[in-house]
Amino acid sequence: MANKIISMSKIRQVLRMYMQGESKLKISVRSGIARNTIKKYLNRIIHLGLTLNEVEAMSDVHLDQLFGEQPVQDKGDRYNTLKEQFPYIEKELRKRGVTRERLWQEYIVKYPDGYRRSQFSENYNRWLKLSKPSMHMEHKAGDKMYVDYAGGKLSYVDQETGEVVPVEVFVSILGASQLTYVEATASQKLEDFVQCCENALHFYGGVPNAIVPDNLKSAVTKSSKYEPTINETYEHFAYHYSTVVLPARAYKPKDKALVEGTVRIVYQRIYAEIRNNEYYSLREVNEAVWKELEKLNNLILTGRPYSRRQLFDDVEKKVLRPLPSFRFEFKHRQLCTVSGNGHICLREDKHYYSVPYQYIGKKVKILFNRSYVEIFFKYGLIARHERLKKIYGYTTAKEHMASTHQFIADWSPEKFINLAAEIGAPVEEFIKLVLTNKPHPEQGYKSCMGILSYERKVGRDRLIAACSRALDYNTYSYAIIKNILERNLDKMPVPEILEQLIPEHSNIRGESYYQ
């Protein structure tokens, strides 16, 4: 693997095998080190005229200095002057449109006796590699925000149950300034993930050109080397904020090296600081996390004269695009088929909403939030309703109903009344009342189907008895028939039913009290 660190013990082994007369090919096979690398080590030993005994006597530190990065030979004023410019050069390269060529031209105008273009770049690369190995990529300001979840979890204690509740930890970082945002969240589910990404954008106060997630299920529904499939909701979120999603490529660690390095820093600077404290809610966890996060972002970077926050304010803040005037509204999704009565069922609430009768039998997509329900057919909005949570209730727009348009469907009031009449007179009367007590007959179709289906489940006689009993209650719905049959009330005389419905209790006076 390129740039893989080779241990000093393995280098000693290579030199020992060479001194014993082994070929470079055999040494490469036995040690697993590339032949070109072996040649480089051997040439270095030959050039210095060292013997095996001299190499064996060296410490690992001395050997590392011998085979590691070679120091710059020129340590004069010219190099020292250039070295002082390196932090400035690194900072300027993050700005959009700034190149090394441009910075070298500015440098050579200021210092005519300075290094030529190639030496300028080589010295800068050597400094960059030695001062901060993780910063080989030159990230442009305002270009990308990297997001991921930390593998380790935090937790809090539920005050009611005493249970320790583990929580996920979301981490994001801007590529150029490395300004970091961290948030503890209940899960990695789509709604929590989208909210964390949105909170990160508001923390930064602007929007980058792209968001780079790892191949999380919440972000990428199908990973691909060339064209991954982005989760539809997450894509809508990105569209709302005028940015794009660029998932990190699978098995390409360099694509996410920055955020993974940040996760390690979060472990050291945040996890370690709060590890001995006890919290009793997710809010308390986040308050502690954000307190340490502020310290992290204001900490001076190693080998640099500035912090993440200072670099962000100087370089990145002004190039981020402005936030939209309102936040993204998360919508849940559901796919279903329009039933014969012209309604769809929102499974979460068990509530029914009408759609135009032309879409009976069609597959539709439902988008809903706390306030309203929208129904789409092939990307077109066909119905919109205020969201209600009445179980088994109906929300019906009059213009959607088939009867309004003299539309004759397979389901009709006459069909259900005739089927009920074949079972028995009480069933027929009950079905008529179910249909007539709805604003639109179509609303009662599913109730009727459910009631009539009990003939197969419990038998004709019990269904007739249940409908007779329900008629006495003056309640006309599928739920009352279901309740009677499940509790076997159709088999009991009325006094016994009343005993079940009104249990004995010391606070109930009884009939003798009133005599």
Fold of 145-319: Nucleotidyltransferase; domain 5 (3.30.420)
Distance CA 75, CA 73 (A): 6
Return the SS3 of 164: strand
Q: Which whole number is the average pLDDT over 504-515?
A: 52
Q: Which whole number is the average pLDDT over 202-219?
A: 84
Contact 388, 395 (CB under 8 A): yes
Q: Which residues does residue 383 pair with via DSSP β-bridges, in sequence order?
A: 375
Report whether pLDDT(260) > 70. Answer: yes
Return the SS3 of 20: coil
Cβ contacts of residue 460 below 8 Å, gap of 6+? 423, 424
Tokens describing residue 26: 């055999």
Phi and psi angles of residue 331, each rounded to the nearest 5 degrees, phi first: -120, 135
Nearest to 212 by CA among 137, 122, 116: 137
pLDDT at 47: 67
pLDDT at 425: 92
pLDDT band, residue 249 (cuts 50/70/90):
low
Tokens describing residue 390: 């009445």
* 108, containing H or E segment: helix 100-110
Distance CA 51, CA 259 (A): 45
pTM beyond 0.85, yes or no? no
Contact 223, 252 (CB under 8 A): no
pLDDT band, residue 294 (cuts 50/70/90):
very high
Q: What is the pLDDT of residues 8-51, one digit of tens each?
A: 667 777 777 777 777 878 877 777 778 887 787 777 777 666 66
